[in-house]
């Protein structure tokens, strides 16, 4: 920041409304904006597009500022100079953000052969990902898993990540932005380990484009997609994308036919440089005929082909002979139909003021018809099985309005400020019958048929109804003490009102309870330029997360307050050698307090008083070693533990490692483009150390390293690519879920041939 750089407010990422609608929305969200809404209405009636008169504009005229155009996302390795919408709402670049921000572009996803959300998340430095049926693409980051990480779409949080995240095809995403560490100050409860923003492709007025792909690979996997941008005139442009993926199983599991379909469309209206609106509609369908619930452990005495990737004192192993087995009943289903409608607006009120509004409607129908747990019975050598027939009817309405200012204070101190309000309403209904099924032989299972809703064998049958009203106000500020020294701060206050009804169908009884929460989150950070291309930063931030998801929180847990987190981070970002080497490095500490534990003086009593802590370091680098040879590396180390945790029966888990948290994760890639041939050869590697599947740290899954490769041949407008995944056919466990004795085995060796085109 040797010179101030004024980032344009209008970047085509937000929706716009008329002055009348703006004033109405602001009045609904907060009385704070009443006068602004009135002024907007008046300006609309008189046809003006700015507040200031010529005289007033002279009084706030900024000195000569350097305006740097946004470079294409794919021209910079770690995109440090790009504005990101996840780290802040102030239009800060990654270099100006006092936190670790990682961006994965669509081009990078295609080059690395990343097909789904799970595969893309796994490319984030330090992240591990599982496909637990109840929590598709569930993410572990910086020592925290599940709902302690937030997943957004176009900057909007719909709900708890374990409910709304699906393992979709990534074709429709322009990029994936990742903000490491707490982000409740931006996105509310549940954002402790980090936030991941899935940014969809948007229309533009620049040019017409048509792009697509067609792939075929192992396990009868077909992937096809097409999309395009079309300017209709100087003010209107449309974009549409369609994708389809079909496979007998991406993990080579019996009876797990998989379909992923996505369709999206958006309209850009930009009558001038001051106003931009985008109307978007997204529909996604994903379905597995029978989900993969992990490979259950068996006794080493009965195993036919025991593996040695598990340590435990009980003599249990993962048997390779069950590698492809599926123990779900026929008629099982894991599916979701999701529709999202949004209307985003950017309105530049004056050279220094801008208004943003985004309204969103979300609807999802989900089905979880499966046998979630299979446990080995040492007496019968069979797998005991549970069964559930759960479904979700999930609606969310939300609106967020914010006002931004970017100007010089006292004529020399650049200050960027944002204040806003957000409201969302959630309506969630879920019938949840559960029971047990007949045990099955591990090697020749007679899985039976999924019971109907009226089955008399259900041992539990509750119907959940949840309504959540969430209102928040927030503010952010970025103040330049000097051109090279930036202070960034923010705060958010929320009110969460929950209405829960639990109807027990079997006993014809009903429970109602209405917990309410009022969390406050804040952060304060600083960035200092050692030179225009290297920054050091530090940040302290807080976050909150429920003791369990608010959508299904129990009566007992509804009496507890939100768990409170805090974090400190120090790091650096650097782009040197004329941009040929980009680096991001950080060390961090995160503490989560008031998790549920047992009272040490009365083990039958559950209290808030537990504590989970993680500290670690991360390093990400991207280098253009030569014009033909490029390399990327991501390294992470985390030391995560329960500082205080007592479970049922008085078992003390203090000092133990949390579930699904490997200590070390590394990924690397190397690509070489031949000078005289249109051929690029690439290699990819990922390593993760071992992890525990239970809080007692009884079952330890050993670490692994996998290798992938690709060979690409470029024509004028087309690229043919051959991918090989898990080239050594490594047998490894990548995650656990449901029972601690069910390990999700990584996908075996596979190949895929595809073609992409762009005109």
| pLDDT > 60? residue 16 | no
Give the residue among 519, 515, 533, 525 at the shortest CA–CA distance from 574: 533
Cβ contacts of 58 within 8 Å, gap of 6 or more: none
pLDDT in tens, 375-386: 999 999 999 999
Tokens read off for 465: 């109804």
Please tell me the predicted confidence (pLDDT) of residue 556.
Answer: 85
Rounded to whole angstroms, the maximal C-alpha distance in the chain is 89
What is the mean predicted confidence (pLDDT) over 113-133?
96
Alpha-carbon distance of 181 to 187, in angstroms, equals 12
Tokens read off for 285: 């369908």
Contact 367, 394 (CB under 8 A): no
Please tell me the predicted confidence (pLDDT) of residue 555.
Answer: 84
CA dist list (Å): 294 to 299, 379, 651? 16, 22, 27
Tokens read off for 362: 């979300």
CA dist list (Å): 210 to 105, 241, 263, 282, 481? 18, 10, 15, 19, 46
Tokens read off for 338: 């999701």
What is the mean predicted confidence (pLDDT) over 14-21?
36
| pLDDT > 60? residue 8 | no
First and final C-alpha spacing in the chain = 37
Per-residue DSSP letter, 5: B
Please tell me the predicted confidence (pLDDT) of residue 340.
Answer: 98
Alpha-carbon distance of 25 to 13, in angstroms, equals 19
Continuous segment of H or E residues that includes residue 106: helix 106-111
Please tell me the predicted confidence (pLDDT) of residue 600.
Answer: 85
Alpha-carbon distance of 139 to 582, in angstroms, equals 26
Classified as helix, coil or strand, 537 is strand
C-beta atoms surrounding 726 within 10 Å: 18
Share above pLDDT 70 across residues of the chain, in percent, rounded to a whole number: 90
Classified as helix, coil or strand, 217 is strand
Give the number of residues written for the chain: 759
What HEC string does 553-578 produce?
CCCCHHHCCCEEEEEEEEEEEEEECC
Sheet bearing 135-141, strands edge to edge = 128-132, 135-141, 144-145
What is the mean predicted confidence (pLDDT) over 246-255?
96
CA dist list (Å): 400 to 231, 340, 420, 498? 28, 16, 7, 20
Strand ranges, E, within 483-519: 485-504, 509-513, 516-517
| pLDDT > 70? residue 759 | yes
Continuous segment of H or E residues that includes residue 643: strand 629-644
Alpha-carbon distance of 660 to 736, in angstroms, equals 7
What is the mean predicted confidence (pLDDT) over 218-224?
98
Please name every residue paired with 199 in a beta bridge, in sequence order, or none if there are none.
175
Please tell me the predicted confidence (pLDDT) of residue 22.
Answer: 35
pLDDT in tens, 33-49: 333 333 332 333 233 33
Alpha-carbon distance of 489 to 507, in angstroms, equals 52
Contact 462, 502 (CB under 8 A): yes
Continuous segment of H or E residues that includes residue 176: strand 173-180
Nearest 5°: phi and psi at 492? Answer: -145, 130
Contact 198, 117 (CB under 8 A): yes
| pLDDT > 80? residue 168 | yes
Please tell me the predicted confidence (pLDDT) of residue 616.
Answer: 98
Alpha-carbon distance of 135 to 41, in angstroms, equals 45
Contact 720, 713 (CB under 8 A): yes
- ∠566-571-575 over CA atoms, to 5°? 145
User: Is the sign of the CA dihedral 164, 170, 176, 181 positive or negative?
Assistant: positive
Residue bearing the bigger pLDDT, 656 or 29: 656
- ∠8-13-15 over CA atoms, to 5°? 105
For the chain, list the domains and their CATH numbers. 209-758 (2.40.170.20)
Residue bearing the bigger pLDDT, 449 or 5: 449
pLDDT in tens, 173-195: 999 999 999 999 999 998 899 99
Q: Which of 145-159, 526-540, 596-610, 648-662 has the lowest mean pLDDT?
A: 596-610
Contact 607, 575 (CB under 8 A): no
Residue bearing the bigger pLDDT, 400 or 63: 400
Contact 178, 124 (CB under 8 A): yes
Residues 239-255: b if buried by 16+ CB within 10 A, e if exposed: bbbbbbbebbbbbbbbb
Q: Which of 59-63, 280-284, 562-566, 571-575 has the lowest mean pLDDT?
A: 59-63
Helices (H) and strands (E) in the chain, counts: 7, 41
Q: Are strands 149-153 and 194-200 parallel, antiparallel or unpaired?
A: parallel
Give the residue among 562, 586, 558, 560 at the shortest CA–CA distance from 572: 586
Contact 180, 586 (CB under 8 A): yes
C-beta atoms surrounding 128 within 10 Å: 22
Alpha-carbon distance of 444 to 274, in angstroms, equals 67
Please tell me the predicted confidence (pLDDT) of residue 435.
Answer: 97
State the residue for tokens 């950080």.
586
Residues 61-91: b if buried by 16+ CB within 10 A, e if exposed: eeeeeeeeeeeebeebbbbbbbbbbbbbbbb
Mean pLDDT, the chain, rounded, equals 90
What is the mean predicted confidence (pLDDT) over 677-686?
98
Give the residue among 399, 382, 506, 358 at the shortest CA–CA distance from 438: 382
What is the mean predicted confidence (pLDDT) over 701-716?
97
Please tell me the predicted confidence (pLDDT) of residue 604.
Answer: 83
pLDDT in tens, 624-680: 999 999 999 999 999 999 999 999 889 999 999 999 999 999 999 999 999 999 999
Contact 130, 444 (CB under 8 A): no
pLDDT in tens, 53-106: 333 333 333 333 333 334 444 445 899 999 988 999 999 999 999 999 999 999
DSSP state letters, 264-281 = EEEEEEEEETTEEEEEEE
Please tell me the predicted confidence (pLDDT) of residue 559.
Answer: 87
pLDDT in tens, 340-372: 999 999 999 999 999 999 999 999 999 999 999
Please tell me the predicted confidence (pLDDT) of residue 648.
Answer: 87
Alpha-carbon distance of 742 to 694, in angstroms, equals 11
Strand ranges, E, within 218-309: 221-231, 236-247, 258-272, 275-288, 295-296, 298-299
pLDDT in tens, 505-551: 999 999 999 999 999 999 999 999 999 999 999 999 999 999 989 99
Please tell me the predicted confidence (pLDDT) of residue 241.
Answer: 98
DSSP state letters, 449-493 = BPPPTT-TT-SEEEEEEEEEEEEEEEEEEEEEEETTEEEEEEEEE
| pLDDT > 70? residue 148 | yes
The structure's pTM equals 0.89
């Amino acid at each position: 920041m040797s010179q101030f750089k004024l980032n344009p407010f209008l970047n085509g990422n937000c929706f716009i409304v008329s002055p009348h609608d703006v004033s109405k929305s602001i009045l609904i969200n907060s009385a704070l904006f009443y006068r602004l809404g009135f002024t907007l209405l008046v300006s609309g009636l008189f046809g003006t597009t700015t507040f200031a008169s010529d005289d007033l504009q002279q009084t706030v005229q900024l000195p000569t500022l350097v305006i740097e155009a946004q470079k294409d996302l794919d021209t910079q390795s770690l995109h440090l100079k790009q504005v990101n919408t996840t780290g802040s709402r102030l239009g800060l670049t990654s270099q100006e953000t006092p936190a670790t921000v990682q961006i994965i572009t669509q081009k990078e996803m295609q080059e690395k052969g990343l097909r789904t959300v799970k595969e893309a998340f796994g490319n984030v430095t330090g992240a591990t990902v599982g496909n637990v049926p109840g929590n598709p693409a569930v993410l572990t980051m910086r020592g925290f898993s599940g709902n302690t990480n937030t997943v957004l779409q176009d900057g909007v949080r719909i709900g708890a990540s374990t409910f709304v995240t699906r393992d979709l095809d990534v074709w429709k995403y322009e990029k994936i932005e990742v903000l490491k560490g707490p982000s409740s100050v931006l996105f509310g409860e549940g954002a402790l380990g980090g936030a991941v923003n899935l940014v969809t492709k948007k229309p533009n007025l620049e040019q017409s484009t048509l792009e697509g792909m067609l792939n075929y690979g192992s396990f009868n996997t077909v992937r096809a997609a097409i999309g395009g941008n079309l300017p209709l005139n100087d003010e209107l442009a449309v974009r549409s994308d369609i994708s389809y993926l079909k496979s007998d199983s991406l993990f080579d599991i019996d009876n797990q036919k998989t379909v992923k379909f996505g369709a999206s469309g958006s309209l850009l209206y930009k009558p001038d440089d001051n106003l931009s609106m985008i109307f978007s509609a997204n529909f996604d369908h994903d379905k597995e005929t029978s989900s993969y619930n992990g490979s259950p452990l068996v006794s080493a005495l009965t195993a036919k082909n025991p593996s040695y990737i598990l340590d435990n004192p009980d003599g249990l192993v993962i048997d390779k002979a069950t590698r492809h087995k599926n123990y779900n009943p026929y008629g099982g289903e894991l599916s979701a139909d999701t529709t999202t409608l949004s209307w985003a607006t950017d309105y530049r009120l004056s050279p220094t003021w801008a208004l943003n509004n985004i309204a969103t409607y979300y609807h999802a129908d989900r089905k979880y018809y499966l046998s979630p747990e299979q446990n080995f019975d040492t007496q019968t050598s069979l797998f005991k099985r549970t069964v559930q027939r759960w479904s979700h009817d999930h609606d969310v309405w939300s609106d967020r309005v914010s006002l931004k200012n970017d100007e010089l204070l006292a004529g020399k101190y650049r200050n960027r400020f944002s204040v806003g309000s957000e409201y969302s309403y959630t309506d969630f209904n879920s019938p949840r019958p559960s029971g047990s099924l007949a045990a099955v032989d591990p090697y020749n299972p007679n899985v039976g048929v999924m019971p109907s809703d009226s089955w008399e064998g259900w041992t539990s049958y509750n119907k959940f109804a949840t309504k959540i009203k969430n209102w928040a106000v927030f503010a952010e500020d970025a103040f330049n003490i000097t051109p090279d020294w930036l202070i960034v701060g923010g705060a958010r206050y929320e009110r969460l009102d929950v209405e829960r009804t639990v109807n027990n169908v079997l006993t014809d009884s009903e429970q109602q309870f209405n917990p309410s929460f009022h969390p406050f989150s804040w952060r304060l950070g600083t960035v200092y330029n050692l030179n225009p291309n290297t920054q050091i930063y530090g940040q302290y931030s807080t976050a909150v997360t429920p003791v369990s998801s608010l959508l299904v929180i129990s009566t007992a847990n509804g009496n507890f307050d939100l768990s409170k987190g805090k974090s400190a981070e120090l790091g650096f970002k650097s782009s040197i050698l004329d941009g040929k080497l980009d680096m991001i490095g950080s060390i961090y500490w995160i503490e989560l307090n008031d998790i549920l534990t047992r009272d040490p003086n009365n083990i039958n009593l559950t209290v808030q008083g537990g504590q989970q802590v993680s500290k670690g370091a991360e390093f990400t680098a991207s280098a253009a070693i030569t014009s033909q040879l490029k390399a990327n590396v991501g390294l992470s180390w985390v030391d995560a533990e329960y500082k205080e945790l007592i479970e049922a029966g008085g078992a003390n888990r203090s000092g133990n490692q949390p579930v699904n948290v490997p200590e070390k994760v590394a990924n690397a890639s190397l690509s070489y483009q031949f000078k005289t041939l249109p051929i690029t050869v690439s290699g990819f590697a990922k390593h993760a150390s071992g992890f525990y599947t239970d809080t007692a740290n009884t079952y330890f899954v050993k670490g692994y390293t996998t290798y992938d490769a690709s060979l690409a041949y470029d024509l004028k407008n087309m690229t043919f690519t051959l991918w090989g995944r898990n080239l050594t056919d490594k047998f490894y466990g990548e995650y656990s879920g449901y029972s601690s004795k069910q390990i999700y085995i990584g996908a075996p060796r596979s190949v895929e041939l595809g073609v992409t085109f762009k005109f």
